[in-house]
Amino acid sequence: MVRREICDVQRPIPGDRICTLYNLGLVPYETAWRWQQSLVQHKKAGLSSDVLMLLEHPPVYTLGQGADPSLIKFDPDQEGHSLYRIERGGEVTYHCPGQLVGYPVLDLKRFQLDLHWYLRQLEEVVIQTLSQWGLVGTRVAGLTGVWIDGYKVAAIGIKVSRWITMHGFALNVCSDLAGFQRIVPCGIVDKPVGSLHQFCPGIDVEQVRPVVATAFAQVFGVSLQEPMVDLATLLR
């Protein structure tokens, strides 16, 4: 069952674009994937505003559309791991509770028609979030994501169709990182995966959630609004 949690937006962040913020709890990967696909179709038809979903997933592995399956260290046919090949770019990654996932469904025609710009903006959301705890998030030339002291704490993978975005970013807050040992995360063999908990013991997703929302609003220049209806109702 999908658990929905509300994280109140105290007041809209100034901006000339509206973005509906769905604060969700633990959502099965396939459910969130289908929601994104439906939202993209709604936006292509001009039926919905921009959307940001913030949520967590039960343990699951995902492969980008061109990902190399040799980066998986287990046999998905013999072990009880959830695995999806999806339409985003990038290699294999892992989602689990304690990781805050952000799925923006945006019409980039209202922002910039530049995918590199969009990726850098998503990184900037994470970097600004980390700064609230005195952490310095950095980029690595030629790679996508955010690092702290050499540890990759945020992965980013997107799909854009007719300038409508889906998929997004995953920030390890207090995740059990053991699941990453069964893959070569994002195809990067020489940089370890980390979490904010390593640098800020005791931090949890509910502390980080509103900070990510505020950083997203500031970076993209949007006003966040609470939904009028839940996603399941909207997408019937």
Phi/psi at 3 (5° precision)? -100, 125
Distance, in Å, from the CA atom of 197 to the CA atom of 220, rounded to the nearest integer, reads 27
Phi/psi at 72 (5° precision)? -95, 130
In order of 50, 68, 138, 152, 189, the CA distances from 130 in angstroms are: 24, 31, 10, 13, 24
Q: What is the DSSP letter of 203?
A: -
Q: Which residues pair with 167 in a beta bridge?
A: 158
Q: What is the DSSP letter of 70?
A: G
Phi/psi at 23 (5° precision)? -90, 115
- 186 in catalytic set: yes
Residues making up the chain, counted from first to last: 236
Phi/psi at 139 (5° precision)? -100, 160
- Just list the catalytic residues: 186
